[in-house]
């Protein structure tokens, strides 16, 4: 029996599974982020080791191939980099790494052209043409992009809370909600929380449920933030679809798109307004299965 390791290294957590050659799930483990752009290479490798050790614990098996998807990548990683990143952690003949949206495409199990958008801690869109050509949009990271991501949404919520307090913008219930989230009574306490030491992207992204709750309860500012980011991410997706065959299906994944119906519905409406023939659906298989499917392909090369 041959066994395959698939890893989805998101910005907040890493999900690893092992499946046998028939696609049956053998083991699953959830670890910390291996996105080295966010946590640093040393921490990413340490988290990868913890995740791999966890998914292999108690399993007397030999891996045939492994595939890792992560938001730090926008395309296939060089073999030399993959070797350095995984050396001493994953023991199998074939190891490959690509973007998290690439394994999302693999999870769609579609022959022909297909597209994928991810919004979790970060955001990105990718399409694959019938000849295998891969097109990327977004994925510029939290400083240069990540529109419509959990981090970007939450950070704008915090900024709105500050501006509402200072009177430089409309007052919002977000001020009260942000203070409650961090368990402080003074808005100026946010300076130490965010800068000393610097708060992680994943911790910032944890504010998104508060933002969506505020919007659902009618807060105008919260709704404006959601609308703005839905439009920004829709623009990224539409730029991708403009280079795809008409009617190519679009898959969706990531904590924001899976768990936040309000944001997802607004995003889909904006996409379908411009591309009404595009079918938009949440993935049937999560990306870690796409990583396993990719690992199986690598094993046949």
Minimum mean pLDDT range among 138-142, 169-173, 183-187: 138-142
Cβ neighbours, 10 Å, residue 171: 15
Nearest by Cα to 99 from 78, 79, 75, 80: 75
Average pLDDT over residues 17-39: 93
Confidence check: pLDDT of 284 > 90? no
% of the chain beyond a pLDDT of 90? 81
Q: Residue 213 — pLDDT band, cuts 50, 70, 90?
A: very high
**280 neighbors 271 (Cβ within 8 angstroms):** yes
Judged against a pLDDT cut of 90, whether residue 37 lies above it is answered with no
The pLDDT of residue 75: 82
- Starting at the edge strand found earlier in the chain, the sheet holding 3-9 runs 25-32, 13-20, 3-9, 63-70, 94-99
Mean pLDDT of 174-202: 95
> Do the domains 141-282 and 3-109+285-300 match in fold?
yes
Q: Supply the pTM of this predicted model.
A: 0.83
Would you identify the CATH topology of the domain 141-282? Nucleotidyltransferase; domain 5 (3.30.420)
3-class secondary structure, 103? helix
Q: How confident is the model at residue 141 (pLDDT cuts 50, 70, 90)?
A: confident
- Position 74 pLDDT exceeds 90: no
Specify the pLDDT at position 301.
73
Domain spans of the chain, in order of start: 3-109+285-300, 141-282
Mean pLDDT of the 258-271 span: 96
End-to-end CA distance of the chain: 18
pLDDT at residue 71, rounded to an integer = 80
pLDDT grade for 299, boundaries at 50, 70 and 90: confident
Asked whether the predicted pLDDT for residue 12 surpasses 80, the reply is no
Quote the mean pLDDT of the chain.
94
User: Can you point out the beta strands (E) in 139-264?
Assistant: 250-253
pLDDT at 97: 96
CATH number of the structural domain 3-109+285-300: 3.30.420.40
Average pLDDT over residues 262-284: 95
C-alpha span between 274 and 94 (Å, rounded): 42
Nearest to 100 by CA among 149, 155, 46, 50: 149
H or E element that contains 176: helix 174-182
């Amino acid at each position: 029996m041959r066994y395959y390791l698939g890893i989805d290294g998101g910005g907040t957590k890493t999900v690893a599974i092992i499946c046998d050659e028939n696609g049956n799930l053998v083991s699953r483990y959830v670890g910390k982020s291996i996105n080295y752009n966010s946590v640093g290479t040393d921490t990413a490798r340490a988290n990868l080791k913890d995740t791999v050790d966890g998914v292999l614990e108690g399993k007397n098996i030999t891996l045939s191939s492994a595939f890792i998807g992560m938001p730090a990548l926008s395309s296939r990683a060089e073999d030399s980099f993959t070797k350095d990143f995984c050396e001493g952690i994953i023991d199998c003949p074939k190891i490959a790494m690509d973007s998290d949206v690439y394994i999302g495409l693999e999870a769609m199990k579609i022959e022909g052209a297909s597209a994928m958008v991810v919004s979790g801690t970060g955001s990105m869109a990718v399409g694959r043409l019938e000849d295998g050509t891969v097109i990327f949009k977004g994925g510029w990271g939290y400083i240069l992009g990540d529109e419509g991501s959990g981090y970007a949404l939450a950070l704008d919520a915090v900024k709105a809370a500050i501006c509402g307090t200072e009177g430089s913008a409309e007052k919002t219930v977000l001020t009260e909600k942000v203070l409650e989230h961090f368990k402080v009574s003074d808005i100026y306490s946010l300076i130490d929380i965010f800068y000393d030491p610097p708060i992680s992207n994943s911790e910032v992204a944890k504010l998104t449920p508060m933002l969506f709750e505020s919007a659902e309860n009618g807060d105008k500012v919260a709704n404006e933030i959601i609308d703005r980011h839905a439009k920004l991410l829709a623009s990224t997706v539409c730029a991708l679809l403009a280079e795809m065959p008409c009617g190519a299906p679009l898959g969706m994944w990531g904590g924001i798109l899976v768990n936040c119906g309000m944001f997802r519905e607004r995003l889909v409406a904006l996409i379908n307004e411009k591309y009404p023939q595009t079918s938009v659906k949440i993935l049937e298989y999560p990306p870690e299965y796409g990583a396993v499917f990719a690992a199986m392909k690598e094993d046949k090369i």
